[in-house]
């Protein structure tokens, strides 16, 4: 991974954009949705940037940039077509410890701009590490049609309810089950049914966990597709064996790894609603199948 995605707090961030052509306007359109302070310096200003200045979204200075302009900022975007100028400012900015993006020179950037699907609190950022911005744009377009616009309201609703859920369900495990159940009922829309689903989800919480059993040496890629979502919601992966890399990739990243547990401890965890996978030799799996009839035995082509 050459570039690592992070979501930066934009409130109060001081951003300087040098250049005010079409490329600058595309980045400014997104940046101006944040609470950052945005200054733009350029002698020639395209219509879109001028409109943002007129609406008070950016502070525009119509002149050539100077190195002194870099004082006191957090983030610099260079969007001029003057290559030596872009380079000179980028190097100076780096020397000052600033974050810098030069729109047409990834080598001079210490961060690059993703394609963004904006649904309020829900943000999806896509990057190809500079390999194919057009693909990032196309994938964004696909996600735009896939993610309903009411997701913004849905996540505002959820954010409002977080404290209430913490009070009503003091146990972390219960809250996790609650939210999974809520999304199962509600899907990804916000409408007049959302409030009902929210209440309904409290009523349908079951304390029964899930046990997945996988015999050592099972070819992971031959497991049925339905096994993947189950592995993605595991709380624990128990095994005394070395895990195949492919298995580690598929299991939920936050799942805890543990040596094999005694049966009583395994039962206790399932009673608490936890989701456990056991990866062990056939003999152990056969015993577990007998002891936990509800367990899901993962095998190529079958569950």
Ligand X SMILES: C[C@@]1(CC(=O)O)c2cc3[nH]c(cc4nc(cc5[nH]c(cc(n2)[C@H]1CCC(=O)O)[C@@](C)(CC(=O)O)[C@@H]5CCC(=O)O)C(CC(=O)O)=C4CCC(=O)O)c(CCC(=O)O)c3CC(=O)O
Q: Which of residues 46-105 bind ligand NAI (CB under 6 A)?
A: 64-65, 79-82, 85, 103-104
**199 CA to centre of own chain:** 27
Q: Choose among ligand NAI, ligand X, none what residue 189 binds, the Cβ cut-off being 5 to 8 Å by kind.
A: none
The helix (H) or strand (E) run that includes residue 256 is strand 256-258
The label of the residue with tokens 């989800």 reads 201
Angle at 191 between CA 186 and CA 193, to 5 degrees: 55
Handedness of CA 290, 293, 298, 301 (dihedral sign): positive
Closest separation in Å from C-beta 21 to ligand NAI: 2
22 binds ligand NAI (CB under 6 A): yes
Report the partner that residue 161 touches, choosing among ligand NAI, ligand X, none (CB closer than 5 to 8 A by kind).
none
Q: Residue from 129, 248, 282, 287 that binds ligand X (CB under 6 A)?
A: 129
Residues numbered 134-193 forming contacts with ligand X, rule: CB under 6 A: 134, 136-137, 140
Locate 117 and state its tokens.
Answer: 């699907």
Pairwise CA distance, residues 96 & 9, whole Å = 20
Longest dimension (CA), the chain: 78
CB-wise, 133 or 244, nearer to ligand X? 133
Question: Ramachandran region of residue 302, left (φ > 0), alpha (ψ -120 to 50) or beta?
Answer: beta
Residue 150 DSSP class? T
Site string for ligand NAI, 130-159 (x = CB under 6 A): ---x--------------------------
Provide the minimum distance between the beta carbon of 19 and ligand X in the complex, in angstroms, as a whole number. Answer: 12
Of the pair 47, 245, the CB lying nearest ligand NAI is at 47
The residue ranges that bind ligand NAI (CB under 6 A) are: 18-24, 41-44, 64-65, 79-82, 85, 103-104, 133
């Amino acid at each position: 991974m050459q570039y690592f995605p992070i979501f930066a707090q934009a409130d109060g961030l001081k951003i300087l954009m040098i250049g005010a052509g079409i490329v600058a306007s595309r980045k400014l359109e997104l940046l101006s949705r944040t609470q950052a302070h945005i200054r733009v310096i350029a002698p020639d200003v395209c219509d879109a940037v001028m409109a943002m200045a007129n609406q008070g979204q950016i502070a525009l200075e119509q002149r050539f940039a100077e190195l002194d302009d870099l004082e006191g900022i957090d983030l610099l975007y260079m969007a001029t077509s003057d290559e030596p100028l872009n380079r000179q400012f980028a190097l100076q900015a780096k020397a000052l410890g600033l974050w810098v993006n030069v729109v047409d020179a990834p080598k001079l950037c210490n961060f690059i701009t993703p394609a963004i699907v904006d649904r309020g609190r829900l943000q999806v950022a896509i990057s190809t590490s500079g390999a194919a911005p057009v693909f990032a744009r196309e994938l964004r377009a696909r996600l735009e049609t896939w993610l309903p616009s009411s997701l913004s309201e849905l996540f505002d609703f959820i954010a409002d309810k977080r404290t209430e859920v913490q009070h009503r369900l003091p146990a972390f495990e219960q809250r996790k089950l609650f939210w999974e159940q809520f999304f199962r009922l509600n899907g990804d829309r916000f409408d007049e049914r959302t409030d009902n689903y929210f209440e309904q989800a409290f009523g349908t919480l079951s304390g029964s966990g899930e046990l997945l059993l996988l015999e050592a040496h099972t070819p992971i890629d031959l497991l049925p597709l339905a096994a993947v979502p189950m592995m993605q919601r595991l709380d624990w992966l128990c095994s005394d064996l070395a895990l195949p890399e492919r298995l580690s990739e598929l299991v939920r990243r936050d799942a805890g790894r543990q040596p094999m547990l005694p049966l009583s401890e395994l039962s206790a965890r399932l009673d608490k609603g936890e989701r456990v996978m056991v990866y062990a030799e056939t003999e152990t799996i056969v015993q577990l199948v007998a002891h936990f009839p509800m367990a899901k035995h993962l095998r190529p082509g079958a569950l």
